[in-house]
A and B are shown apart, each in its own frame.
Chain A
Amino acid sequence: MKLGWIAVAVATVAVFGESPGALSITVQDAQSQVAAADSVYGCVLCHADKRRAFIEGIHSERGIGCHDCHGGDPASLEAVTAHSGTYIGTPDKLATVELCGSCHSDPDRMRQYGLQVGQVAEFRTSRHGQLLLGERNTDAPTCTNCHDAHTILTPDNARSNVHPTNIPGTCAGCHQDESLMAKYGLSTDQFELYRASAHGVGLFERQNFAAPSCVGCHGSHAAMPPQVSEIANVCGQCHVLVRRAFDAGPHGAADRAGNLPGCTACHSNHETERVPPDTIAETCVECHDAESRAAQLGVEAEELIVAAQNDLQAADEAIEELVVAGWQVGDLQFRYQTALTDYLQIAEFQHSLDVEQLEDLGRRVGSISRDIRATAEVSAEQRWEHKLLLVPVWFLTLSAIVLGWFKLRSLKE
């Protein structure tokens, strides 16, 4: 009896454990192997590699088998009979959409898993969907291009193609392909620009999942670049305070009237760089006439912001000097943070172009900076006073030397 079980075990390992990865079979693998062996699941006899890919994924966990998507007869152990009946083989891109949608658009089926059901409908509205389903253009991706055909992992799994940190790479798989994108007149630098941007750095380096990946701005299944009039709303999903300031100002009005491409008027879409304070006036002149009131405002704003930045820089340097001189700087550091808070608010509220508010904030930064620098000056003055000690010291020393010299001479005689 025992020998029989050993024989089954050996047979199982012999059949399923043919690759170098066999030694790392997990308990779960072993169990599903035994289950598969029990039900004599014929597909795996030839398609062991597909099985290995599949059992890592969520479909396998939920008890879905090969035949549930591909059809055919799983009980059969020979290819001819297995590939018969409902067998569809590898579905093409269009068929894939239908196939996946057959379950994933069914609310009754998806409710138990807490999954949304609008993906196919969304896909239809997307550029990908328009190309694939509308024009039958197979350049466009289907479900399995992003989600993988067999290793389908949930988005919260870090190995999934649709995990936040992996999404840009998944999109870049096609969108960095120059020959492919050239057909549609699309650039291929988005991934590189994004990676260097604040969003990319936040996502990849700081694991800040509040930072958007491609789908955060473009949508996932309904992927489409935002319309010009939609841009401010897209950025405003997260940059709420900037959006409010923007709406309150003349640029907001221009955006609503359709005269401005939202945030991308001054900031790039993928690089999303800050406008350096000393180039603000230049940026204004890109749209406004150099003599206009608007350009004047830009110059005023630039001067204000650059002055505040310099004040902050000077305060920071003063604190450094005090640390070097051995002072405790906890309280000064607190004041510096207050000034920094005001300065960061300038960066935000400048979008409303309310110069009075900016002046007010700038004044506060300047006053705190002056106080900090005054303390540094006190320290410098103390250093100078210390040097006064040298006067009596050297006076006494030189007198001693002179008198001693004379005394030594007289002693010699």
Chain B
Amino acid sequence: MASLINRTRDVLSRWRRRFRDDLKASTDASFLTMPRFFGLLYGPIDRSLPIDQALRKALAYRLPAHVGWRHALGGVAYLLFMVMVVTGVLLSLHYRPSSEEAYGSIQHIVTGVTFGWLVRDVHVWSATLIVIVVLAHMARVFFDGAYKPPRETSWLIGLMLLFVVLAFGATGYLLPWDQWAYWTVTEVLNTIAVLPLLGGVIVTALTGDAFVSGATLSRFFALHVIILPWIAFALLIFHFRMIRTQGVAPPRGKAKSETEGHSFFPHHLLRSFLVSVVVLAIVISLATLFPRPLAAPASPVEPPGELVSTWVVVDVSLALIRFFGPWGFALFTLLGLSMAFIPLFDRHPERRHRPVTAVGVVFFVGFAILWLVGHQLRFAGPDVGAPTATEIAEPAQSGLP
């Protein structure tokens, strides 16, 4: 009996001591003061998983000296992606993914929900900006030769991320279910269906019906909200892991980075903070000054008089489809996909490979020019191969004597 009491007393006193230590440690000025102060359980957690230590290491991480402002593009792309995730989740609290209610729910978000207009327009503008920034980041990596060994996998993952971002935008474009959304998607799907072998299969899988309908909306919503986010997160983790493991690519023409630059904290963190603040301010400004207009509700019966594009990639796609036909569209997509093979042709760290550079220039400059062209088309109606109205037959003339 006495030993039982003694043992209990020991246990209690041990707990008491630990609690006191934790309480004291929580008042230490350190990185995670707040969680520690409010969560006295933090002590045990930190003891088993050294979170604090890991974070200190990350903050102490030194970036090479040649890292400049242009290297922020990747981070900006990630920031915009996070903005899209947050605004997307917020929108999904009010959006209804059925063909009957989708349009009405968007109207409700834009006019009935506090700051709904802002969340929605930020989401729309970020969709345009993220494509531009991702392409700029890709161009920076390309022209810096940062795809060369050992960074081929990063390049490949990055390219896959580009296509995931484009897929996000394409699937999200249909969700407002207004005339512009509906008929743009119809036109693009019609174009893809024309391509041999895979075209018909892909379009059938995406549409889920004889024509774009509620079934398509469901599939696009599932892709946009469930399938693509999982793929994106997996690719992002992989992408960051590779970058962390291999470090920032050395300057062009050199095999290794020379001097050790500044630590992440406070130098690069401050720079990142400033860049983030500016990017967010730009996004909010664009969202406030140029809200995305809503067309009439989607009518599968009647195409609209004009098809206004609200995403940069739609301008490019429509320019390709209308001036170069379905094959133009397919070829440009193939050009983008073929960029995956660039690291195969340009492996030497010091040599500049002209044909490879040419391919990159064609892709990036081509994208910009196509956007300009597509932007001029913004007031043309959809080209959906609708059957032409038959001529009204003249009434039969009677037989003359």
Contact = CB atoms under 8 A, between A and B. Distances in A.
B270 interface: yes
A386 B116 CA distance: 11
B108 to A, nearest CB: 8
B278 interface: yes
A328 B105 CA distance: 10
Contacts of B278: 397, 401
A248 interface: no
Nearest to A165: B395
Contacts of A173: 397-398, 400
Contact of A169 (B106, B274, B288, B396): B396
Contact of B294 (A170, A324, A411): A324
Nearest to A407: B270
B284 A326 contact: no
B288 A390 contact: yes
Contacts of A166: 395-396
B111 A327 contact: yes
Given A145-B401, A323-B294, A404-B270, A387 B395 contact: no
B110 A411 contact: no
Contacts of B289: 387, 390
Chain A, interface residues (CB within 8 Å), range: 35 or more
B344 interface: no
A159 interface: yes
A390 B397 contact: no
Contacts of A87: none
Interface in A173-211: 173-174, 204-205
Given A170-B397, A325-B293, A389 B270 contact: no
A297 interface: no
Interface residues of B, number: 37
A170 B398 contact: yes
Contacts of B392: 204-205
Interface in B253-282: 262, 266-267, 270-271, 273-274, 277-278, 280-281
Central interface residue in B106, B270, B285, B401, by most chain A CB within 10 Å: B401
Given A325-B110, A328-B107, A393 B397 contact: no
A324 B397 contact: no
B395 A323 contact: no
Given A325-B110, A401-B277, A169 B270 contact: no
Contacts of B284: 389-390, 393
A170 B397 CA distance: 5
A94 to B, nearest CB: 13
B395 A168 contact: yes
A218 B338 CA distance: 75
Nearest to B110: A326
B394 A169 contact: yes
A262 to B, nearest CB: 28
Given A328-B104, A328-B107, A170 B395 contact: yes
Given A169-B397, A170-B397, A172-B397, A390 B285 contact: yes
Contacts of A400: 273-274, 277
B294 A161 contact: no
Contacts of B397: 169-170, 172-173
Central interface residue in B273, B294, B395, by most chain A CB within 10 Å: B395
B333 to A, nearest CB: 32
A299 interface: no
A399 B266 CA distance: 18
B118 A326 contact: no
A383 interface: yes
A397 B111 contact: no
Contacts of A146: 398
B122 to A, nearest CB: 11
Contacts of A240: none
Nearest to B266: A411
Interface in A246-270: none
Interface string A268-306: 000000000000000000000000000000000000000
B220 interface: no
Nearest to A320: B296
Interface of B: 104, 106-107, 109-111, 117-118, 262, 266-267, 270-271, 273-274, 277-278, 280-281, 284-285, 288-289, 291, 293-296, 392, 394-401
25 contacts: A93-B401, A144-B401, A146-B398, A149-B399, A159-B396, A161-B396, A169-B394, A169-B395, A169-B397, A170-B398, A173-B400, A204-B392, A323-B296, A324-B295, A325-B111, A325-B293, A326-B106, A326-B109, A383-B291, A386-B288, A390-B289, A393-B284, A394-B285, A400-B277, A401-B277
